[in-house]
Amino acid sequence: MVAQDTPPQAGPLRLAQSVGEYARVAAGAAAVAGFALIALTQMGLDWFYGHFGLAPQDVGLDQTAILFETAATGITALTCAAVVGLGVAVVLRYLVLRRSRHDTASPRSLVGQPVVLASASGITIALLAGFLGSGILNAHRSLDDIRAGRSVPPQVLARGEVVARCTQVWWKEPHLDGVIGHPQGARLVYLGEAASVTSFYDATSTRTIRVPSGDVATRSC
């Protein structure tokens, strides 16, 4: 009996099927992780602004903003982690086989192996855990910066949402002398605005100041 050659389309077809299966698994995980990430972000923002006696809504962050910003961040993070995880798993498997059996198979042929897909999933989860951990550390550093009267960098888990920058403030109404308690041009940390009310943090007196937006003029420090 003469062995039949493998059709030339079989290799690419198997590769496409394996990648498709991996993508379906990743998409299912993304749906679950997406809901979890949105919930965690909401909790994180409540925790962050709670240190200043505020809610996210007090600085202009509504549910729609949180949803879209978090979804964009989550999709980007998960996609990058899944691609990197698969690539690293394939390379590691290729190196192991080459060392143990001097296997010369191409890395592309390893994509569909269950051990590679399992390793890719584990690496992806580890990368996402590192991403979440870095976001938590960044949030704590940002709290320290605000308490010291400094601007903060964009947050990893809420990029584009959390705004806190050093701002010089002048007020137009004399009655605000007692509210702000500083000379004109005082340096405060701007936290956000909602319903025509602007929120600042005063690092000197360690208190949050909320004043009508139309009664103050600001300039970056």
According to DSSP, residue 183 is labeled -
For residues 119 and 78, state if they share a domain. yes
Reply yes or no on whether the pLDDT at 3 is more than 50: no
Q: Indicate whether 123 and 192 sit together in one domain.
A: no
Residue 2 lies in a domain: no
Residue 189 within a domain? yes
Of 45-49, 89-93, 157-161, the poorest mean pLDDT is in 157-161
Higher pLDDT, 11 or 63: 63
Closest-CA residue to 167 (of 185, 154, 182): 185
Assess if residue 197 is contained within a domain: yes
Is 5 contained in some domain? no
Give the DSSP per-residue string, 158-175: TTTT---EEEEEEES-TT
Alpha helices (H) along the chain: 10-50, 63-101, 114-147, 176-180
Q: Note whether residue 19 is domain-resident.
A: yes
Residue 98 tokens read as 């080459």
Provide the pLDDT confidence category of residue 4 given band limits of 50, 70 and 90: very low
The answer to whether residue 211 sits within a structural domain is: yes
| pLDDT given at position 129 | 85
91-107 in b/e burial notation, b at 16+ Cβ within 10 A? eebbeebeeeeeeeeee
Q: Is the pLDDT of residue 49 over 80?
A: yes
Q: Which residue segment(s) compose the domain that 64 sits in?
A: 11-149
Residue 46 β-bridge partners: none
First to last CA, the chain: 84
Is residue 62 included in any domain, yes or no? yes
Range in 77-81, 108-112, 129-133, 141-145 with the lowest mean pLDDT: 108-112
Give tens-digit pLDDT for 118-146.
888 888 889 888 888 888 888 888 899 99
pLDDT over threshold 60, residue 153: yes
Q: Which of 9-13, 38-42, 94-98, 160-164 has the lowest mean pLDDT?
A: 9-13
**Total of domains in the chain:** 2
pTM, two decimal places: 0.71
C-alpha separations of 62 from 43, 57, 157, 162 in Å = 13, 6, 16, 12
Question: Is 114 in the same domain as 182?
Answer: no
Using pLDDT thresholds of 50, 70 and 90, give the confidence band for residue 2: very low
Residue 202 lies in a domain: yes
Both 104 and 36 in one domain: the answer is: yes
Residue 47: pLDDT over 70: yes
Tell me the longest C-alpha to C-alpha distance in the chain: 101
Same domain as 195, residue 121: no
Domain check: are 180 and 137 in the same one? no
Residue 69 has pLDDT above 90, yes or no: no
Neighbours of 132 (CB within 10 A): 17
Domain edge (last residue) among 149, 173, 207: 149
Task: State the CATH number of the domain containing residue 196.
Answer: 2.30.30
On whether both 99 and 129 belong to a single domain, the answer is: yes
